[in-house]
A and B are shown apart, each in its own frame.
Chain A
């Protein structure tokens, strides 16, 4: 699943570590989500979106192939 986390993070001049601390996860998890290797759970996706003051669908881009 694609997402805009890296762009949003850079616009706020945040490091991965800082974002991870803010949403209660680790830097490695943020890296994996940004690169699309790992799909965040709904609670984590909600926390990330809330942190940026956006809706989940504005941060995470759902595509047909993501729906199994």
Chain B
């Protein structure tokens, strides 16, 4: 890919993260004025989720701002994003995550067959479990290949 086109793509990502930041600001202002959030309601979950994952996006934003005007860093980042070994690690880790998650669901079903939790709690727990599994498998395959 032409580096000029890649720079435009990075600029687009910066705008998208900016929009995400704006959304957090609007929801936070709404909360400031209405005081709607309370444990268990939907707004609390959406707002909490957006704020919870924001460090990841803002770390990316800082990275993008740093590389966008530096030719060498931009090329290094492009190489990292398109690195075949990295893609292989992600591919293997995704398969392993899916398989271990299914195994975990079966085990949970066997040991806690009649447990009932609110749907939002279950979804949140599953997202966290999958993220942790993915991280673990990625580290494992990074050492292996």
Contact = CB atoms under 8 A, between A and B. Distances in A.
Contact of B79 (A20, A37, A40): A20
Determine chain B's interface SS by DSSP, over half rule.
helix
B79 A38 contact: no
A41 B85 CA distance: 9
A40 B82 CA distance: 14
Contacts of B145: 32, 37-38
A25 B79 CA distance: 5
Given A37-B144, A37-B145, A26 B75 contact: no
B85 A21 contact: no
A18 to B, nearest CB: 12
B7 interface: no
Interface in B56-85: 75-76, 78-80, 82-85
A60 to B, nearest CB: 15
Contacts of A24: 78-79, 82
Nearest to A28: B85
Contacts, number: 33
A7 interface: no
Interface in B87-103: 88
A-B complex: 8 closest residue pairs judged by Cβ atoms? A29-B85, A38-B145, A26-B83, A24-B79, A41-B84, A26-B80, A38-B85, A25-B83
Interface of A: 20-21, 24-26, 28-29, 32, 37-38, 40-41, 44
29 contacts: A20-B79, A21-B75, A21-B76, A21-B79, A24-B78, A24-B79, A24-B82, A25-B79, A25-B83, A25-B85, A26-B76, A26-B79, A26-B80, A26-B83, A26-B85, A26-B86, A28-B83, A29-B83, A29-B84, A29-B85, A29-B86, A32-B85, A32-B145, A37-B144, A37-B145, A38-B85, A38-B88, A40-B84, A41-B84
